[in-house]
Amino acid sequence: MNTCRSCGAQIRWVRTSKGHRMPLDPEPHPEGNVTPEPATSPAVEPLAVVHAGPVTDRPAWRSHFATCEFAAQHRRRS
C-alpha cells in the first residue's frame, strides 16, 4: 500500500491497458467501476479493467482521482 503524495490517503496501484499507472482508493466501494485483474507475476501491478458504470456482481474500486481533493494537480494536459 502506498500514500497519495497530495492528500496523504492510502492508495493502491494498478496499470491500465495502455500501461499507465492508476491510483485506486484502498477498499472496494459500492460505486466502484474498476476491477483489478490479477497480475501475471508478483513484480507486475494488477491490470485495471475500467467499466462504464458501477460494478454490482463483484468487488470494485474507485479511482483515487475521483476522491482526492488535489486530483487536478496530477492530471496531464492534452
Question: pLDDT tens digit string along 13-53?
Answer: 999 888 889 999 999 999 999 998 887 777 778 899 999 99
Q: Is the pLDDT of residue 76 over 70?
A: no
Question: Using an 8 Å Cβ cutoff, are 48 and 39 in contact?
Answer: no
Q: Which residues pair with 24 in a beta bridge?
A: 12, 63
Nearest-angstrom CA–CA distance, 48 and 76: 19
- Residue 23 has a pLDDT of 94
Q: Which domain holds residue 22?
A: 2-74
Count of domains in the chain? 1
